[in-house]
Amino acid sequence: MSLSDMQVLVVEDHGFQRRMALRMLGEIGVGTIHDAPGGVAALDMLQRMPEPPDVVLVDLDMPGMDGVEFIGHVAQGRLARAIALVSAMDPALLAAVQSMARAYGLAVLGSIEKPLTVEKLRSLLTSWEQRLHSADEDDLVEVSLEEIRTALLQDELVAWFQPQVEFLNGKVIAVEALARWRQPGGRLVRAGHFVPLLEREGHSHKLTDSMLEQACRWKRQWDDQGMRLHLSVNVSPATLADPAVADHYQQMVCDHGVSPEEVMLEITEGSLVTDAARGLGVLARLRLKGFGLSIDDFGTGYSSLAQLSQIPFTELKIDQDFVSGASADPRKRAVIEASLDLARKLQLEVVAEGVETTEDWQMLAELGCGVAQGYLIAAPVPGEDLPDAVARWRRPDR
């Protein structure tokens, strides 16, 4: 999708500012532009649209229905693909509203401080255009338990890969394996639509095994092409309850000619609190066997520091909610700086997820972050397309 194909709705009660936004959007080439003078009118417009707009630019401080209430209605009704805040209000308030929108499942581009400029709008929408271009069209997928069980049995769940690169030299050093469901009709469904269901029904360990095995098979092919990369694979919380899983994973990777030292197992921060004693034992054994351990989505749970002090992690992944747009958000930057300082003291490698703009790349490089992952580098791709994705990558100029 290009900017000329994009559909944007501006929700702004101040007439002059609304007209300026419309003029600027036209200047940067947005194809379809709508506007509304407030939340009530905007909701009415959205409900009558044949399809949701790509982006809603919304002011927070509006009479009648304020922007916070409006965003709640938009999210619950799935009335837009993404929102962006346009406001001069307190950054803490903006961050809270963005977190609220994401908790509702709504894509959030970030916030633009008033006054609007052409440059701010172009940067915001260009990054979203790139994300849309690479995204899977599965926003409205509904998945049944029987369907996903069948998909698991028939090997329809496939691993796609997103590169991770060093800030220092721009070299691609690893890939993260991400689950995709390739349906018989050719449609591709992202993990968020089926992994929670698998976890609830006790089948997620099978998905972890499948992703690890597929990743190892692809790694051998890439090795043969002269492209030696480490692997990063998400581990289901359910596997941490199985004392035999360390031996199982070791056997699995070795059967494919891969060393455990070449595999990073990503553990979501909130997944370790249910049975700490057993989980800690499993993780300790995985480290003994050489696997790397990464604390994923760092900062989004409630026990980050406790986890870091108890578990032999080797890597910290800063969640994309903190990374995306951090170059223009002092609060996000502060979180990143604190995370990097903590990681240095604990001698952990750091991966920043969600790197989507050159500005965020440059900020992270200046702060001394080690590794980047995100759409600026490449979207997730099938294993056969990874060499081309790596070849296309160019580190941003300093």
Residues 6 or more apart in contact with residue 91 via CB below 8 angstroms: 329, 330, 331
C-alpha span between 41 and 262 (Å, rounded): 55
H or E element that contains 330: helix 330-345
- Assigned token pair, 92: 């803490």
- Evaluate whether the domain defined by 3-134 bears CATH number 3.40.50.2300: yes
Dihedral angle of Cα 176, 179, 180, 181, to the nearest 10 degrees: 160
Distant-in-sequence, close-in-space partners of 265: CB < 8 Å, separation ≥ 6: 233, 234, 235, 249, 286, 291, 292, 293, 294
What is the spatial distance between Cα 46 and Cα 36, in angstroms, rounded to a whole number? 10
Distance in Å from the first CA to the final CA of the chain: 28
Cα(13)–Cα(4) distance, integer angstroms: 26
DSSP character string of 35-76: EESSHHHHHHHHHHSSS--SEEEE-S--SSS-HHHHHHHHHH
pLDDT reported for residue 166: 97
- Per the CB < 8 A criterion, the answer to whether 265 and 291 are in contact is yes
Domain ranges of the chain: 3-134, 145-392
Report the chain's C-alpha Rg in angstroms.
22
- Per the CB < 8 A criterion, the answer to whether 39 and 70 are in contact is yes
CATH code of the domain occupying 145-392: 3.20.20.450
Residues 6+ apart with CB under 8 A from 66: 39, 60
Give the side-chain half-sphere CA count within 13 A for 273: 11
Buried b (16+ CB within 10 A) or exposed e, 288-314: eeebbbbbbbbbbbeebeebbeebebb
Residues with a known catalytic role: 353
CA 364 – CA 274 distance, rounded (Å): 34
375-386 per-residue burial string, b: 16 or more CB within 10 A, e: under 16: bbbbbbbebeeb
Encode pLDDT of 65-105 as tens digits.
Answer: 998 999 999 988 889 989 999 887 887 788 788 888 888 87
What does the pLDDT read at residue 294? 93
Segment 245-284, tens digit of pLDDT: 999 999 999 999 999 999 999 987 555 555 566 778 888 9
Chain length of the chain: 398
Are the folds of 3-134 and 145-392 the same?
Answer: no
Residue 242 to residue 23: CA distance in whole angstroms: 60
Q: What is the pLDDT of residue 34?
A: 96
Task: List beta partners, residue 161.
Answer: 177, 381
The pLDDT of residue 301 is 54
Check residue 141 and give its pLDDT.
62
Q: What local confidence, expressed as pLDDT, does residue 136 receive?
A: 45
Question: For position 246, what pLDDT does the model report?
Answer: 95
pLDDT (0 to 100) of residue 129: 60
Averages of pLDDT over each 10 residues, the chain, 398 residues? 85 93 93 94 94 92 90 91 86 82 82 85 75 51 77 88 96 96 81 80 87 97 95 88 92 97 85 63 92 82 63 90 85 91 93 93 96 95 96 87
- What are 339's two structure tokens? 């995370």
Reported pTM: 0.75
Task: Say whether the peptide bond before residue 115 is cis (omega within 30 degrees of 0).
Answer: yes
What does the alpha-carbon distance between residue 348 and residue 310 come to, in Å, rounded to a whole number? 14
Laid out side by side, the sheet with 107-113 consists of 32-36, 7-11, 55-58, 82-87, 107-113
